[in-house]
């Protein structure tokens, strides 16, 4: 071996600068059928424990509803999974290999976790198409973003997502001009453009009409399967219409978990969630 070759082996030419090598997180490993592990998670805000030693497991392909009174810590839970808030203790794993607590928000997003905010959050000054284009999976560093051009396959992808969320007719409209419900769907569409394996959807039907809620329920049910979907919701009617498994959160802890029927008959749930009232509202 010549010196040059030895030098090259020691320092491969394409790896001289580490930051030039695309950082790919380890592949999502679902060998145990569980996509998300949260164990012993604790978060406090100035002494107040918003999440308290919480354990939660989401299965691959599952549609899970998380319910709980206001301030139970549902949004905070999503903040932890997506890297916005760091827990004081506990561990969070995406599949078997990906440690969420070591990653930044964009890294987590690119690893395959999409998040819809509680308040509809879309780019109001951009068209529907541009919103989806920006969200599309692919290289998201500065230079590739500067030189990116939509190709035919990507246009098709945008159109198919628009079809999924039912916004084909709005493709060239400014997102700010959409109705509240349409914005929520657009945001879900933006998540889909990232090809996520786990969708976190925070209060999707707040402020929606009955009809819009029904469509959203259908949409979320249809999305589960190839990916896992976690929905946080207040609206019991809505939860009942989509959920197979429900987790009840209370004061930052999991209070009960099971089918809708199980949890609504759980005396502890009745106690805290309905303030001791008989569970007629839950049953209806």
Ligand X SMILES: Nc1ncnc2c1ncn2[C@@H]1O[C@H](COP(=O)(O)OP(=O)(O)O)[C@@H](O)[C@H]1O
Asked whether position 77 contacts another protein by CB under 8 A, the answer is no
Of 4-12, 48-56, 110-118, 138-146, the segment contacting Mg ion by CB under 5 A is 110-118
Nearer to another protein, 147 or 284 (CB): 147
Nearer to another protein, 182 or 264 (CB): 182
Distance of CA 217 to the CA centre of its chain: 16
As measured in angstroms, the least distance from the Cβ of 226 to another protein is 19
Print the binding letters for residues 215-234 with ligand X: x by CB under 6 A, - otherwise.
--------------------
Asked whether position 119 contacts ligand X by CB under 6 A, the answer is no
Sorted by sequence, the CB contacts under 8 Å of residue 142 that are 6+ apart come out as: none
As measured in angstroms, the least distance from the Cβ of 142 to another protein is 5
- 76: which 2 tokens? 């905070």
As measured in angstroms, the least distance from the Cβ of 11 to ligand X is 45
Task: Give rounded-to-5 percent helix, strand, coil for the chain.
Answer: 40, 25, 35
As measured in angstroms, the least distance from the Cβ of 15 to another protein is 21
| Distance in angstroms (rounded) separating the CA atoms of residues 219 and 172 | 22
Nearer to Mg ion, 113 or 136 (CB): 113
As measured in angstroms, the least distance from the Cβ of 278 to Mg ion is 26
- 7: which 2 tokens? 């030098």
Q: What are phi and psi of 238, to 5 degrees?
A: -65, -45
Q: What is the helix (H) or strand (E) element at residue 241, kind and residue range?
A: helix 236-242
Q: Could you say which residues in the range 40-99 bind ligand X, by CB under 6 A? A: 45, 50, 68, 70-76
Size of the site for ligand X (CB under 6 A): 10
Asked whether position 145 contacts another protein by CB under 8 A, the answer is yes
53: helix, strand or coil:
strand
Asked whether position 194 contacts another protein by CB under 8 A, the answer is yes
Print the binding letters for residues 57-76 with Mg ion: x by CB under 5 A, - otherwise.
------------------x-
Task: Spell 191-209 as b/e; 16+ CB within 10 A means b.
Answer: bbbbebbbbbbbbbbbebe
> Binder to another protein among 39, 53, 130, 235 (CB under 8 A)?
130
As measured in angstroms, the least distance from the Cβ of 232 to Mg ion is 7
Q: Could you say which residues in the range 86-115 bind another protein, by CB under 8 A? A: 104-106, 109-110, 114-115
| Distance in angstroms (rounded) separating the CA atoms of residues 263 and 131 | 39
| Distance in angstroms (rounded) separating the CA atoms of residues 60 and 198 | 8
Instruction: Give the closest residue to 67 by CA, choosing from 265, 277, 276, 263.
Output: 263
Which spans of this chain sit near ligand X (rule: CB under 6 A)?
45, 50, 68, 70-76
């Amino acid at each position: 071996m010549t010196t040059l070759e030895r030098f090259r082996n020691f320092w491969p030419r394409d790896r001289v600068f580490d930051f030039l090598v695309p950082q790919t997180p380890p592949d999502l490993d679902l060998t145990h059928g569980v996509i998300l592990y949260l164990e012993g998670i604790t978060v406090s805000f100035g002494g107040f424990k918003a999440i308290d030693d919480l354990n939660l497991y989401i299965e691959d392909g599952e549609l899970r509803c998380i319910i709980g009174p206001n301030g139970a810590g549902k949004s905070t839970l999503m903040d932890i999974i997506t890297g916005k808030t760091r827990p004081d203790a506990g561990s969070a794993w995406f599949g078997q290999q990906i440690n969420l607590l070591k990653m930044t928000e964009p890294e987590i997003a690119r690893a395959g976790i999409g998040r819809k905010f509680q308040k509809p959050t879309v780019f109001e000054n951009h068209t529907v198409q541009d919103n989806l284009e920006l969200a599309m999976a692919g290289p998201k560093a500065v230079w590739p973003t500067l030189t990116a051009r939509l190709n035919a396959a990507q246009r098709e992808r945008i159109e198919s997502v628009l079809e999924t969320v039912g916004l084909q007719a709005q493709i060239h409209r400014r997102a700010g001009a959409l109705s509240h419900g349409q914005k929520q769907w657009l945001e879900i569409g933006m998540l889909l453009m990232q090809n996520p394996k786990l969708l976190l959807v925070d209060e999707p039907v707040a402020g929606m009409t009955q009809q819009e809620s029904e469509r959203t329920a259908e949409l979320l049910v249809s999305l589960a399967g190839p990916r896992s979907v976690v929905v946080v919701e207040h609206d019991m009617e809505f939860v009942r219409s989509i959920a197979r498994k429900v987790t009840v959160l209370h004061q930052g802890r999991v209070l009960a978990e099971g089918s809708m029927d199980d949890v609504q008959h759980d005396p502890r749930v009745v106690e805290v969630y309905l303030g001791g009232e008989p569970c007629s509202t839950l049953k209806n």
